[in-house]
Amino acid sequence: MSAISVFDRLTALPDLNGVTGRTIRSVFPRPALIQLDGRRPEPVFIAVMQHGDETVGLDVLKRLKAWMESHPLPRTLWVFVGNVEAAEAGVRRLSADTDFNRLWAGGTTPLHAMAETIKAELAAARPFAAIDFHNNTGANPHYTLVHGLGPEDRHLASLFSPNAILTLTPPAMMSLAMRPLCPSVTAECGQARDAQGGEAGFDFLMAVLHLDHWHSEEDRALRLYEITGRVEVAPDVEISFEAGTDADLELPANLEKWNFFERPAGSVFARLPNGRCPLSVIDETGRDLTDRFLTIEGDRVVLKRDVTPVMLTTSVRAIRDDCLCYLMEKPEARS
Ligand SMILES: [Zn+2]
């Protein structure tokens, strides 16, 4: 197949002064692969803006550009700039089939061909590490998604945050698809409006670029979790974040503060002013696990087991488009 190339190739970072997600096409009119030579040849690969409204990666690139004015790169760096059209529109993706973080396990579209080309070239270059930079919708501490429990996986993840989630789905997400090539993580850098995300992302990139080899000591002890359930809200349900309304589902206003904090069995998760429970918990295969995690006591939804929620959001739109949150458990605690 003679793929019409849908991405550009660059060998230097353009001037990013004043560039925002919305204006990113003034410097990157299309997705781009930027190959920057450094002292050690095996590249670090990073991806930015795979989701158009997750601008942390652009911030990382700006900091990198400034740093490179006075420092040579200690290691070759490849940068993939992803969904610039969605960035221009200020949205995560323009359509369900152009989610850039679902392109990396084969497929038939020109975007899939782009992903395959980049993956094959990266494999030939013997990459050292891969990092995909993202933001969260709700307030979460920084964490990585890791795809193995080997010393390299743990070392890489620990350079960013003590919080890590082990996940082996979906196969088409970039960091998982890159894992056969090198240690690979998704770095979740908090909310896009929080400038600390760019600083933490840049520090992480610096640490990895300066690393000579992987070792078996983690830089900080990881708190490693596995996602065991996804909490969905039935469509057309009225959701409220205030006490005393007659919405179908009442959640606490400070819900996002629960992210990465364990909620013990027996604690209240939500109120049901109308008595009917619109929450369901499913696993990655779609199996219904609601009875395993939740029980109804009067007008309250109560947790049946110790869980640590993540990606809880008070954005009703995000809840409707995606889900309320994920529930995590320690891998060893899973029964
Ligand atoms: Zn994302």
Kindly list the averaged pLDDT for each block of 10 residues, start to end, along the chain of length 335: 77 98 98 98 98 98 98 98 98 94 96 97 98 94 96 96 94 97 98 96 98 88 94 94 90 94 96 92 94 96 96 92 93 60
Residue 224 φ then ψ, to 5°: -100, 130
Q: For residue 107, how far is its CA from the centre of ligand 1 (angstroms)?
A: 20
Q: For residue 147, how far is its CA from the centre of ligand 1 (angstroms)?
A: 16
Structure tokens at 60: 């990382």
Q: For residue 174, how far is its CA from the centre of ligand 1 (angstroms)?
A: 11
Q: For residue 52, how far is its CA from the centre of ligand 1 (angstroms)?
A: 8
CATH superfamily of 8-221: Zn peptidases (3.40.630.10)
Cβ pair 308, 261 in contact under 8 A: yes
DSSP helix, strand, coil percent of the chain (3-state; round to 5):
25, 25, 45
Q: Residue ranges per domain, the chain?
A: 8-221, 227-333
pLDDT, residue 276, reads: 87
Question: Residues 20, 9, 105, CA angle at the centre, nearest 5°?
Answer: 90
Q: For residue 256, how far is its CA from the centre of ligand 1 (angstroms)?
A: 18
pLDDT, residue 245, reads: 84
Residues with Cβ within 8 Å of residue 202, at least 6 apart in sequence: 59, 60, 63, 64, 67
Q: For residue 167, how far is its CA from the centre of ligand 1 (angstroms)?
A: 15
Tell me the Ramachandran region of residue 28: left when phi exceeds 0, alpha when psi lies from -120 to 50, beta otherwise.
beta
Q: For residue 144, how far is its CA from the centre of ligand 1 (angstroms)?
A: 12
Cα dihedral 229/254/185/40 (nearest 10): -170
